[in-house]
Structure 1
Amino acid sequence: MPWQQKIPYLMNQPIEVSFVDGTGTSGVLYGVSGGKLLVMEYLYHAQFALRQYDVFTVQDIYGYPGCPG
C-alpha cells in the first residue's frame, strides 16, 4: 500500500519514516499539510519538536508493531 494511503490509519500513532536518501526518523504522525509530512519528534529531556518533511522525500511510513500480551 502506498504510504499516502496509510496516513488515516497512522494518525497520532508512533511511526518510523524512511526517506529516499536512506535515512529515517521516528515520532508521532500529525498528518500531511501543504505538501509536508508533519511528525512530532523527541529531542531531549522534556523537549519535542514538530518537524516538517517534504512529501517527495518520503519513501515509506511504518507503524510500530503492537506489544504481545
Structure 2
Amino acid sequence: MRARLAAMAAPRDTDDPELAALRAVLRNEALMAHVTANVEQWPPLTEEQRDTIASLWLPPTR
C-alpha cells in the first residue's frame, strides 16, 4: 500500500480524491495497529469493566 501511495503521489495533485482515500486507509491501518498493540498489553477486564464498556455502546434512550 505504501508503494502504491508513493507511485500515485508523484504525478498527482495533493487534493486528488483517490490519493486522499489511500492516505486515509494507511493512516487508519497504522492507528489500529498502534491501538491493538497497546490493548494487547492490558490485563484482562473484570466483569464489571466489561459491563461498563458494553453500556457505553448502547444507543441513547429517548
TM-score class normalised by the smaller sequence:
under 0.3
Relative to the length of structure 2, the TM-score reads 0.18
Higher relative contact order (CA 8 A, sep 6+): 1
The answer to which structure has the higher strand fraction is: 1
Higher helix share: 2
Larger radius of gyration: 2
TM-score by length of 1: 0.17
